[in-house]
Each structure stands twice: as structure tokens, then as C-alpha cells.
A and B are shown apart, each in its own frame.
Chain A
Amino acid sequence: MIVIFILIPLSIILATGFLLGFIWAVRSGQYEDTCTPAMRVLANEADIKSPTGENGATKSEPTEVDK
């Protein structure tokens, strides 16, 4: 039974990790809009082809200027 004294702190540390993950998710705004992501996923498959004939994939990532 002595092992429980190691397991309890370990499990709490692990759970704290999940809690921090949750707080991060809330802080980054993931709980603010639960509607749009569901719509986004339906449209994202669409491949955008530029008329110049190049592969759209190179162009279809927005430049990451966020943060």
C-alpha cells in the first residue's frame, strides 16, 4: 500500500497538466465560438487553384502573421 504515496502525487501532477491544458484552451479563446469551427471543417476541403495554373497548395496557407 505504500506505493499509494507515490501514485497520488503523480496522479495529481498529471491532472494538473490537464488543468493547465484546459486553462490554456480557454485563454486562447477556444470556448468562445463553438459554432464556426464546425462550419469551417466542411469548407476546408476545397482546394484553391490559382488561375495561373500553379498548384494552389503553395498559396493556400495564409502567411502566419498571427502573434
Chain B
Amino acid sequence: MTNLATSALEVDSIREARTAAPQCFHCGDLCRGPTFTDHEKSFCCQGCLAVFQLLTENGLTDFYSLSENAGVRVKAQAGREQFAYLDDPVVQRRLVDFADARTTRVTFRLPSIHCIACVWLLENLFHLQPGIGQSRVNFPRQEVSIAYDPARTKLSEVVALLGSLGYEPELKLSDLDNVAPTRQARRLWVQLGIAGFAFGNIMLLSISSYLGLDHFSGGLFNRISGWISLLLALPVLFYSAADYWRSAWVSLKQRMLTIEVPIAAGLLALFLQSTYDVLTGAGVGYFDSLTGLLFFLLCGRLFQQKTFDRLAFDRDYKSLFPLSIIRKEGGRQEHVALSQLGVGDTLVLRHGELIPADATLMSGQAVIDYSFVTGESAPVEKAAGEYLYAGGRQTGGVIEIKTVKPVSQSYLASLWNQDAFRKETGRSLNNLTDLYSRRFTKIVIAVAVGSALFWAGRDVSRSLKSFTSVLIVACPCALALAAPFALGTAERILARRNIFLKDTSVIETLARVTDIVFDKTGTLTVAGANEVVFHGQPLTEAEQHWLYSMTHHSTHPHAVRITKAIGRGHIPQPVRSYLETAGCGIEGSVAGYKITIGSPAWLQSRKIVIPPMAAGDGSVVVAAINGQYRGAFWLANALRPETAGLLTELSSRYELALLSGDHDRERPQFAPFIGSLHFNQSPLDKLGFIRDRQKSQRVIMMVGDGLNDAGALKQSDVGVAVVENINAFSPASDVVMDAAVLPRLPEILLFAKTSVRIVRWSFVISSFYNLIGISIAASGRLSPLVCAILMPLSSITVVAFACGLTNWMGRKVQP
């Protein structure tokens, strides 16, 4: 009964209810309240029972044997009519991947896919509904691709079936432009395949010359193998190397010496020299080196391109745009597609929903958050009759608005100030490799020109040869491989520990960090073991239900903890006129009762009498029902046992700071470890603090919970989101980290430093090879054989060194 062990609630009445409660056969939750039974199995709710019955009827009970309590709790039974808008042809065209008269194929993201049983069930969907054909799950991306016969079933029915099984798809506007990354990955694979193919065959053809058997095979063989090599190398040069030509051209145009410039120069020199050799019959050329180089380079690229599909580092804010909206017509509410909205429609917006078109407020308390549009984080209150601009987000309760302009999705998309929440994605030009290659390129060009000039007076052909030879040998393939392999390995090692990086360049920044700024709530103090204690008359089942319905709307860490503590087994009830006051609390009414939950000071300011309480550690969240004090949740904020050690260890090497939105009651707890303590900070204060520090050339790492301090995370050099659930949406962060590994932060930072040092050492090794190569080349005596040995050898040594040493050093951070 792991649920019992981890449950954090200490209310006795609840505990009794729990020990008695059986576990739901479908989803594994504890059954509370009325229990449904079937086939001698208990279910926590009608939804789970319905799924079980559906699966039993269709002979799919293997679902339960594949993995225990595999089911996903069905949140709210969704009616088919809720998805009716999906049958609108305009919407379908945007969602569907492929359609003809007999087949339609559609791909959905289902965030609740989590185990092998899910995969099995979703791939057996065709048993559950006639008309559904093959369905394929992509587990890492949490996607399912379903083919169905449009004559026998409808898209809305397919989605409703998924919803009724507990796998409700995310239906968002961003579904439109998901295609690009896969196409790019496929291209890289094909490029690599062609390079490898040419590399292997050209090497085979060159064996005789490697072994010095040229006399035996004769001139004819050499000439033919030279021509075949040339033909094999052409697709490599034009297709596999295409990206290098392009990036080299771009950097030259911007007058930047990135690593691609010497690579492209080397490749070009290789190709021209070899083609000249083959055409004049002077030899077989260096095609084996050329194709081998590209093969290794592309391997490095593929290695570095590891992405964590289910994480949302770069997920566009467009993904918050819904496809449908609730329209009110003649007292009836219906879901309609955005594209069907006209001017003068009355829409119902709930908490967190977007205003899809310019509109006027009809009724309700509008508190509009325009932060995605303007960057201004304070929500604006609006009175009935006022004008609302498209793109804002309602943050209070339910409002009704009347549109005054037609919906334009492209306008909506362009309106959103995406910069406000996204770090500049382009690659930084100050990464290690480019810094080094800038110096390197200058030296190489100097040596090439120097040796050409040196020979120019004596031997013109030798002068040309030495010029190209230097460029060939200096092609910094090994240099380009060092960082992808060392840092890529480090990224993988960290991912195994549930630390996910946006890309490998984050490691370089991690190694340069000088200051660490912590956000207290949600990072240093929240842990799974933290207790939520309720003081006051024990809550009745119904009261818990109301409070849960309120708190599950809020993303504040306190609310999340209370939700977690009382939440299991409840289905939220609708909340009317919900309003969240950032940093203070939430209010609204559930089932006719007015519920207020928040900080004691805030409740007192709303004329709610709170009896005096004994002071203690931790935060207090007070709940009131109908304006009457009901009790207080004590969220024990005892530091995690490891926190003290963590802070002591870090404080010896980094400047630490703590930014908290809370009161400063806990100052004494942190004072011994952290010099710079700041309490009662608003999100804007946090952002300002980081900006100030950065002005004095500090490299700041901000550790926060991801959502409540997105601005500060974005401003910092490395934003670390510490989350309990790694699938959580954490915009603006560079690192997503499981809260359980936070105590290992010093080791992780040390590991980042080590990895960067390994990259530096790899540079030294590759420079050593280059030095040997260049000294041979400058004398104008570079033979294809030397080239064919030296270049792969240097690449392989560097890769082996970088991967091997990083792996070895990474053992310390392994679980």
C-alpha cells in the first residue's frame, strides 16, 4: 500500500477512511465514498467501472495483467457532443494527417500514456469501436496515430472513445506544425547512411593502395577505382555535406569564424585535390578521407541531437490556444470550433481560457492576464461593458463576452509576444568549440598561406599542393566531434538521473555558473515527505470535496500540496466565480458555499475572524466557508534533511541567494547558509534581482519550481525547474530536474565542470594530431595513405576519449 505510506495527510478521520478503503482495480486509487463493484472487483468511480466493463465486454482484460492498476482515472465523463466541433471540415483539415474516401489518419498527443498496458490498449482500439483501423503508439512522444474509416465512424467519436478510456487527447492549435522535426531527423539519418555507404566502399577500393600493392593491381585498376570513388563521393559532397556548406556560407556572410568554416574549407580542398588527382591520373585521391570525415561528423551530429520529446522546453505558447470554445446560444452552451465563431457571438470563458477575438465583457468578474501579449505580469480587472483585446487570458471565474471582431488565428499567433517566454533559441556563438575554432582557423590559414609562399619561389605545383594539404589536414573534424560526444554523453548520463537539459550547450553554461539563486517555496522546502496538517474540527467528506475543487485550480505550491493531501479519489465539482489573487489566496463558490482559502493576513483583510494560533515553523493556509473560519492547513516547511548539507556544500564554492514570496519567519533557518536572503518578493522583484546581479558579470543559475517564477528563470543564465512530475510544462527553463535529485546538485555542477574540462582536453588531443598532420602537409608531402590513417585515427581517439572519460567520470552521478 504505497499510497498510504506516501500520503501526507494527518487528519485522523481521513486516515481511518483510507485504511478501510479498497484499491480501485482500474486506476489503483483508493476508493472513497461510494464504491462500485463488478466481478468482485472494486472501483473508485463510475468512470473506472465503465472502462473495465467496456474492456471486459470486448475481451481486452489482458490490459490488467500487463501492468498492475494500469488504468488512467477518467476525470470527467466527456459527452460526444463536447467534441462535435471536431467534425467540422475546417477543424478536421488541420488535425488530420491524411484523408481519402476510405481512410482518415490522425495523430494525437495523449499525455496520460504511461506504461506498456496503455500501448497495448491503444493499439487494440479497433476492438472497441467499429470503423477504427490500425493505431500505432509512439511511446516517447506520447502520441498515437489512428486510422479510421470516415464512413463508419467520426473523428468526434474516436476522440470521445479515447476520452472515455481516460486518454483524452490534447487538442491544440499547435498540432498543425509538428511535422518539421521528424523530417529533419530523417534527413540526418539518410545523410549518414549515404556517407557511410560511400566511406565503406571507397575504403574497400583503396585497400590495395593502403597495402602498397599498386604495382600488382596495375594502373588500370587505380584509374577505375579512382573514378568509382569520385562517383561515390559526389552524393556525399552534395547531399550529406549540404548542411556544412550552408552554415559555413552563413557564418562567412556574418563575418563569423564558426567551426563550420574550416570544416567546409577542408572538405572543399579534399574534393578539389582528389578530383584533380583522378582526372590527371596522378592517383586515387583522398575520397576515403573525405567521406570518412563526413561520416564521423554526421555521427557526432546525430549523437548530439538526442531530444526529450515528452518534455516541453520549446513548446510554443501557441499550444495554449484551444481549438474549440463554448458558445452560448439561446440559453444553451455548445462547444464550437474557433473557426466557426462569428461577430456578435456570446462566449463563455472559464478560468485560464483565452479571449479568441476582440470582445466586450457582458457579465462576470473579468481579471485579464495579458502577460503573454505585453509581458506585463499584473492582471487587469475589467468591468462589464469594457473592451477586451484578443490574446488575454481570463484568470478569475466564469465570464461571458460578446465578440466584436472576427477570429483570426494568424493574428492571434502573431500577437503573442513569444519572446517574453522563450530564450533566444539560435545557437550561441560563444560556445567552447567556436571560441577555439576562431583562433584555430586563423593559425591554419596563416600556415597554409605561409607554406604556399615558401614553396612558391621554388616549385609552383608543390606550393599549391602544400596549400591544399594544410587545409585538408587541418580540417577540424576531431575538434568538431569533441563537444558533441563529451557533452552528449554527459546529457545522457544526467537524463538517466531525471535531469533533462534543453541542449548540450547548457552544460557549458552550468560550468561557468558563479551564483545560485534559490526560490524557496517549491524547491528547498517542498518534498514528498512534507506534512500537511489540518488544525480545527476535522473536515467532513463533503467539505474536503469543496476545498479540493477549489485548490486544484491553483498552481501555487501550497495549493498543490493541499490538493495532493486531500485530493485522491475526488472528482472536482464546478467552481463559480473563481478568483486567484497571486500570493494571497483563492476564493470562489462550490455547491452554493463560498470558499476562501489563503494566507491568514489576506483572510483577515476580508473580515474573516481567525482565532489566534500558536506560532510555528512553516506556512499556514487558512480556509473559510461562507465567511466563517473553518480551520488551518499547516504546511510544515522543515528543510529537507539534505538541504542543510546541500547549502553548506554549495556556499563554499558559489554565491548563494534566496528569493521567496513568503514572509520572513523562516529567516533564521536559512541565515547560517545563505548570505543574501530576500523575502516578500514578487515575481518582478525576483527578475530585477537577477538582472542586477548579471550586470556585474555574474553567471546566474536560478533554481525554481518552473511556473511561478518563469520570468526569473528566463532571465537567469541557466534556469532550473525543479518539478515533482517531469512531464510538467515548464516554459523558459533550460533544465528540468526531478525534485528528488536536488540534493545532488553540487555533484551535478561538478560533473558539468568536468565534462567541459574533458572537452578542453579533447581539443588538445586533436590539436596534437593536427600539428603532426600540418607539419607533414606544409612540406608538401601529404600522401592519401597518411591522410587516410591520420584523419580517422584522430576522430576515433577523440570520440573514445570524450565518451569514455565522460562515462567514467559520470559514474559518480549515476543512481
Contact = CB atoms under 8 A, between A and B. Distances in A.
A29 B179 CA distance: 12
Interface in A18-38: 18-19, 22-23, 26-27, 29, 31-33, 35-36
Nearest to A9: B228
A5 B120 contact: no
Contacts of A35: 139-140
Given A12-B201, A22-B193, A36-B139, A48 B60 contact: yes
B141 A33 contact: yes
Contacts of A26: 186, 189-190, 193
Interface string B192-235: 01100100110011000000000011100100110010001000
A43 B138 contact: no
Contacts of A43: 62, 66, 116-117, 119-120
A42 B59 contact: no
Interface stretch (B126-134, B453-461, B494-502, B804-812): B126-134
Interface in B79-128: 102-103, 105, 116-117, 119-120, 123-124, 126-127
A63 B135 CA distance: 11
Contacts of B185: 31-32
Contacts of B102: 65
11 contacts: A8-B224, A15-B200, A29-B186, A32-B138, A36-B138, A43-B120, A46-B62, A48-B60, A51-B57, A66-B103, A67-B103
Given A33-B140, A33-B141, A67-B103, 13 more contacts: A4-B221, A15-B200, A18-B197, A31-B185, A35-B140, A39-B119, A48-B124, A48-B127, A50-B58, A50-B127, A63-B149, A65-B102, A65-B103
Contacts of B149: 63, 65
A49 B133 contact: no
B25 interface: no
A1 B228 CA distance: 18
A66 B119 CA distance: 19
A24 to B, nearest CB: 10
Q: Which 7 A-B pairs have the closest CB atoms?
A: A65-B133, A43-B120, A46-B62, A36-B139, A65-B103, A26-B189, A62-B134
Contacts of A51: 56-59
Interface string B135-163: 11111110000011100000000000000
Contact of B134 (A29, A49, A64): A64
A46 B66 CA distance: 9
A42 B116 CA distance: 8
Max chain B C-beta neighbours (<10 A), residue from A26, A56, A60, A64: A26
A5 B103 contact: no
A38 to B, nearest CB: 9
A23 B228 contact: no
A51 to B, nearest CB: 6
B365 to A, nearest CB: 47
B280 interface: no
Nearest to A44: B120
Given A15-B201, A32-B138, A40 B127 contact: no
B120 A48 contact: no
Contacts of B221: 1, 4-5
A8 B119 contact: no
With most chain B CB atoms within 10 A of its CB, the pick from A35, A56, A63 is A63
A66 B116 contact: no
B182 interface: yes
Given A19-B193, A43-B66, A33 B139 contact: yes
Contacts of A50: 58-59, 127
Contact of A15 (B62, B182, B197): B197
B106 to A, nearest CB: 12
A23 B147 contact: no
Contacts of A49: 59
A18 B148 CA distance: 34
Contacts of A36: 119, 136-140
A60 B138 CA distance: 20
Interface string B175-191: 00000001001100110
Contact of B127 (A5, A15, A19, A59): A59
A53 B80 CA distance: 31
Contacts of A4: 217, 221
Nearest to B186: A26
A63 B126 contact: yes
Nearest to A47: B62
A19 B197 contact: yes
Contacts of B59: 48-51, 56
A59 B200 CA distance: 47
Contact of A63 (B116, B133, B140, B200): B133
A59 B127 CA distance: 8
Contacts of B189: 26, 31
Contacts of A5: 221, 224
A22 B197 CA distance: 10
Given A12-B201, A43-B119, A66 B133 contact: yes
A65 B59 CA distance: 23
Nearest to A56: B59
A39 B58 contact: no
A27 B124 contact: no
A46 B127 contact: no
Which of A18, A29, A62 has the most B CB atoms < 10 Å from its CB?
A: A62
B291 to A, nearest CB: 13
Nearest to A48: B59
A33 B142 CA distance: 11
A18 to B, nearest CB: 8
A14 to B, nearest CB: 11
A62 to B, nearest CB: 4
A40 B144 CA distance: 13
Contacts of B218: 1
A63 B732 CA distance: 44
A39 B58 CA distance: 22
Contacts of B124: 48
A34 to B, nearest CB: 9
B126 A39 contact: no
A39 B116 contact: yes
A12 B139 contact: no
Nearest to B56: A51
Nearest to B232: A12
Contacts of B224: 5, 8
Contacts of B58: 50-51
A60 B60 CA distance: 11
B200 A8 contact: no
Contacts of B57: 51
Nearest to B309: A33
Given A12-B228, A35-B140, A42-B116, A66 B134 contact: yes
A31 B140 contact: no
Give the residue among B103, B138, B197 with the most A Cβ atoms within 10 A. Answer: B197
A49 to B, nearest CB: 5
A4 B208 CA distance: 12
B193 to A, nearest CB: 5
